[in-house]
Structure 1
Amino acid sequence: MTGEVGPELRARVEEIRDAVDRAGSRLDREVSDRARTDLVRVVERLELGVDHAVVALVGGTGSGKSSMFNALTRLAFADVGVIRPTTSQAAACVWGPPADTLLDFLQVARERRILRESALTGADEADLRGLVLLDLPDHDSVATGHAELVNRLLPLIDLLIWVVDPQKYADNVLHEGYLRELQDRHEAMLVVVNQVDTLTEAGRAAVRDDVVRLLAEDGLADVPVVLASARTGDGVSDVRDHLREVMRTESVAARTARDEIGAVARRVATGLAEREPDLPEAGRTAESLADAAGVPAVAHALEAAVASPGPVALSTVQRPARSRVDAIREGWLATATTGLPPRWREAVGSAVAAAGDFHEHVTDALERVALPEGRDRTAARMRLIGMVALVLGAVLGVAGAVVMLAVERTPGLLLLGGGVLVLLVGAVLVLSARSRRRRTATERAQRYRSEVAGALAAVVTADLEEPTADVLADHAAVRAGVLGSSTG
């Protein structure tokens, strides 16, 4: 077989089961309950041994089915004392590890089982390791449990080998009671015409053609037909080739379990989104909250006040309207839950801060950010000194002019020059003070906006983003568990 898949499938079952448990009430109760029930059924199937391929020999009385069983196992099984099979009880030969759970389910008595690999036989047929070969009771026997056994076997069967003899291959019980009812399992069937050593070459060809014709009438035209003789070994190798082909593919039990697991995963996935939505940027949401509280107007007033040469009264931030904050919160939630199923959207809504709490937290954050001083004291001092210098310079200039006209030229020029110099110093100080006020005004307004934005972003992160991220992390984990490696 392609490899032991039992542990892999069990791991998938646990993965899905853990995901359903983690999702909890965020999945529909009916879906969760059904998933758990179906997974229990899958586990039961896995317990039967999905790493075993089941091949069953079925035939009527006198078909030589048990002889074919011995020929295929290469053991004198039918001659070994108490485990001698009969036409009324099933027998089994297992290549590799025992398949006791499976054989218990099929009600094969423990004394009717034999391991192909043993201390005596060794591992001489490793290419068939994992094969369970069953010798079923005669299909035309009067035993009432035979049909029930076949029905229990079919969901696990990898190859159903019908052993017929040249005399009774056209038996109505075989064709009407079994073959025609199994058309949907045609790909897992083989017909072996045994005892062909009793026929001539022409007789073999005629029997083969007739068997092919009957199978076509049964809707089984693609079922292979092998002519064989358990007594001489003719054709037995061809049957064994079919057994090897079975071992090169995954068992039907494994495929069925895989399909059932896939079906459970798909049903659970209907309660999940294809991907987790991207969360809105906290900074953008903080800007919206700041706008709702009039922060831009306060910052603008602060900037104008600091830039003004005289004192200006500052406006303070106002308590934002509850309706606007609620609208921002709802808009954030709508974006953060885009594409999520209703129960997951509700989970996000329950996880984030309530509307009233969020409004209070936003208000507290706004009030905690201190409004910077509305005046640059250094610039004010510079301006005052500059104004004094301008006045002093003007006085000196006037005095110098008077002296030049009334007294002497030289002292007047000195006073006038000094006055001009002081005027220049004063002008520089006044202009520098204005430039500093404007720079300080921009810096304080920007710092205030930044501090408010940071405080509000922290509220958005704590009240909205982190709780939502936790729910989305659960959603991602549940989705990964349900879909397995397909989520990438």
Structure 2
Amino acid sequence: MGAVSYSPEHDVTDVAAPPAPVAPSLLDAVRDLRRDVEATSFPLDIDGVDAARASRTRLLDQLSDHLLPRLAELSAPAIVVLAGSTGAGKSTLVNSLLGTEVSEAGVLRPTTRQAVIAHHPDDGELLAGHPVLEDVKVVSHESVPRGVALLDAPDLDSVLESNRATAHRLLEAADLWLFVTTAARYGDALPWQVLAGAMERGASVAMVLNRVPVESLPAVRGDLLVRLRERGMQGVPLFVVPDAGPQQGPLSTASVAPIKRWLTMLAGPDRARAVIARTLRGSLGALRPWVDTQADAVQDQVDAADALRAAIGAALSGPTDAARAAVHRGVVADGAVTARWTELVAGAGRFAHVVRPSGRIRAARRRTTRLREASVGPLLADLQQAAVANLERAGAAAERELRERLSARGAPDGAAGFVASWPSDDRRSARATRADSIATAWIDGARLAVLAALAEGDPRALKRSARAAKALGDRALAALVLAAAAGLAPAAELLTELLGDAGDALRDQLRAELEAHAAAQVEAEGAALAALLDVPDLAADAASRLRLRFAVLRGLT
């Protein structure tokens, strides 16, 4: 028994007129859209991101493998992709249509191991450069009707993920989907999911129902037609190939003759161009919801990034207050600084006996002043190391708080994955470098602050300041102020005896600077984390760029 063919009124080639030449501006607009879609990423792992990434991949495939090649060369043959489930008989059908084996068929799974595209020799130049040729075996064969190219795709449900991905990509490249299924499997969910996707993007579709037992042919064909009507697909051409029983090699000529005649008719210039035009218009029309969905997904990313920035700011308030409080209560002077001060005070002629019991400053002696100037080097080194350690602790506490707060329940969507990608080693290195730079600047700036303060005040205070500077030396006096600012109480007392209110003001000024530096170290941790959000796809206008790009395209179609 021969194949049962479709009714002529269901021929998809009758519903579209031949396409007009494509204006270069339309091709340019699609290129621009593709470039922007390719540049779009979804950096935050928020709800729905997997679907958005998968949709982006499909959209890129559609733009790259169908729309751009087709717009660039309207006269290229219509690409007819044979797609279906494992064992549907796609390769056998292609081989039978051409009368020779061009695509390996067999019982092993996956049956189609490599995609094959067959075209007429005279169409080779028109197909040259098409992106799908990179991933398929190309066969030039006289039996292929000129004006079409038959592409045998891998199984849609292949055990190999790479095969499944290739099959879906090749479907996006098609001008016509020739879906092959069997009497045993046409009711599976997969065929209908694939066909629904084809209808959504306005693709031209035909269907081959293969291996239908003769006795059940009317019932199976009737049931399938009902299913097609229920889904608004009553216009889809349907070919039924009876079950030929156990066999190897091609199907009989009679069983595939209706499909071959249809392809030959389809290959005519007007009809092939009509199929191309229909699918092209459908694909362009399907872009709007597709791009809108992508733009909505980008906006979700932007909103999530805003929520993360707000959460980062909120998480830093506690560590900032703690960092300031630690400096204020004198933790920088604990340990090594206190021990070094004790050593200096005990040393004869150093910081001892600078102020007489009467409160007057002892007369400066050049040798004693030089000795004091030289003795404060270790104290300054200890002060710097203590300041660095305090700043590093402040930064580390901020990083800890950020990681804990943004990984806890109630954190913004995507926060945990975002923070997990924040490298701790990089943060420790950056924190240490920054802390050392800040502490060095704080130490070096103290002498200038002292000199500036000694130039201000009433004459009596200026005279006392000059005597103190002469007795200690500028460097030793700066070390004294720094020790007092760090929280060393004996140093603060001596500074008050030497300079009075001016000394207290200097101590408070340098302590406030160190508090601000500690707070800045905390803020630097937040800034480093927030900087990861400073990417184009998380900018406020990221979604509008895609919508504007499509608006330009829509204006040209």
TM-score scaled by length of structure 2: 0.34
TM-score scaled by length of structure 1: 0.38
Higher alpha-carbon Rg: 1
